Amino acid sequence: MTRYASSAIAALALTLSLLPTNLLAQPTQDPHAGHDMSKMQMPSSSMAARPGMAHVMVMPLDASTPSDGEKVKGSPPNLSLTLSHAMVFRSVQLRTAAGQRIPLNATLPTTMVKTVVIPVRTLMPGQYIVEWRAESGHEMVGSYSFTVE
């Protein structure tokens, strides 16, 4: 081994020894596992984090019925929301474009699920916004809209 190579190895070893050990450690569980972080957004004020929650991620659903931006002919009988992985749905709200809350007569499951289906009363023509909140160690929120023709 040359003197230069020996010096380079010693310098590298010294540099690595000065790094904090937690920079090299892998987390035991990534709270973002299963999420496409490129789609993450900051929450709007209506979906702000609750006290005590470490962080909130605004994420799109994997699927929904009606789908985001869809124009449906007649009132849909149900809302269906599907997440990328199982979580506990804490709330699902339906509002008109003017912000009027439409009551939903459903009890959300208290266990972790990927999909929730909620019956909807007959909706008049117009635009509607669905807001949802789910958690499992971290909190996810999101919203989407659809139009009834």
CATH of the domain at 123: 2.60.40.1220
The residues near 7 (Cβ < 8 Å, ≥ 6 apart) are: none
- For the chain, the average pLDDT equals 77
The SS3 call for residue 45 is helix
pLDDT at position 3, please? Answer: 53
Is 17 part of a structural domain of the chain? no
Does the pLDDT of residue 26 top 70, yes or no?
no
Is 101 part of a structural domain of the chain? yes
Report how far residue 129's alpha carbon sits from residue 100's, in angstroms, rounded to the nearest whole number: 10
Report how far residue 148's alpha carbon sits from residue 122's, in angstroms, rounded to the nearest whole number: 10
Q: Which domain holds residue 73?
A: 31-148
Residue with the larger pLDDT of the pair 136 and 66: 66
Is 18 part of a structural domain of the chain? no
Report how far residue 23's alpha carbon sits from residue 72's, in angstroms, rounded to the nearest whole number: 50
How many structural domains compose the chain? Answer: 1
Does the pLDDT of residue 86 top 80, yes or no?
yes
Is 52 part of a structural domain of the chain? yes
Pairing of strands 56-58, 63-65: unpaired
pLDDT class of 53 with cuts at 50, 70, 90: very low
pLDDT, mean of residues 102-116: 95
pLDDT at position 119, please? Answer: 96
Is 20 part of a structural domain of the chain? no
CA–CA distance from 37 to each of 46, 59, 90 (Å)? Answer: 21, 8, 22
**Could you tell me the pTM of the whole model?**
0.65
Is 2 part of a structural domain of the chain? no
Is 141 part of a structural domain of the chain? yes
Report how far residue 51's alpha carbon sits from residue 74's, in angstroms, rounded to the nearest whole number: 40
Is 120 part of a structural domain of the chain? yes
